[in-house]
Amino acid sequence: MLNIIMEDEAILVVRKPFGVESQSGRGFSMDLESEIRNYLSRKSGGKASYVGVVHRLDKPVCGVMVYAKTKQAAAELSRQIQNGTMKKRYYAILCGKMNPERGSLEDYLIKDGRTNCSRIAGKAEKGAKKAVLNYKTVDFSDFHGLDSLLTEGTEQGSLSMVEIELLTGRHHQIRVQFSHAGCPLLWDTRYNPAFIGKKGGSAIGLCAHSLSFLHPVMGKRMTFHWE
pLDDT per residue as tens digits for the range 37-83: 999 999 988 888 899 999 999 999 999 999 999 999 999 999 999 99
Q: Which 3 state secondary structure label does DSSP give 38?
A: helix
Please say whether the structural domain 88-213 has been given the CATH code 3.30.2350.10: yes
| CA distances from residue 135 to 20, 48, 70, 107, 169 in whole angstroms, order as listed | 26, 42, 34, 14, 15
pLDDT of residue 152: 47
pLDDT of residue 153: 42
CA distance 10 to 24: 20
> Per mean pLDDT, which range of 19-28, 44-53, 121-130, 204-213 is the poorest?
19-28
206-216: pLDDT as tens digits: 999 999 999 99
Sign of CA dihedral 182, 185, 187, 191: negative
* Confidence label for 30 from pLDDT (cuts 50, 70 and 90): confident
Q: What is the percentage of the chain residues whose pLDDT exceeds 70?
A: 94
Q: What is the mean pLDDT of residues 14-31?
A: 87
Nearest to 66 by CA among 92, 36, 39: 36
CA distance 65 to 83: 18
Q: What is the mean pLDDT of residues 159-177?
A: 95
Which sequence spans correspond to the domains of the chain? Answer: 1-85, 88-213
- CA 176 from centroid of its chain's CA atoms: 13
Q: What is the mean pLDDT of residues 123-141?
A: 96
pLDDT of residue 38: 93
Q: Which 3 state secondary structure label does DSSP give 154?
A: coil
pLDDT of residue 151: 67
Check for a shared fold between 1-85 and 88-213: yes
| CA distances from residue 86 to 65, 98, 103, 222 in whole angstroms, order as listed | 11, 26, 21, 10
pLDDT of residue 200: 63
- 1-85: CATH homologous superfamily? Pseudouridine synthase (3.30.2350.10)
Q: What is the mean pLDDT of residues 74-99?
A: 96
pTM of the predicted model, to two decimals?
0.92
Torsion of CA 20, 226, 72, 77, to 10 degrees: -100
Sign of CA dihedral 115, 120, 123, 124: negative
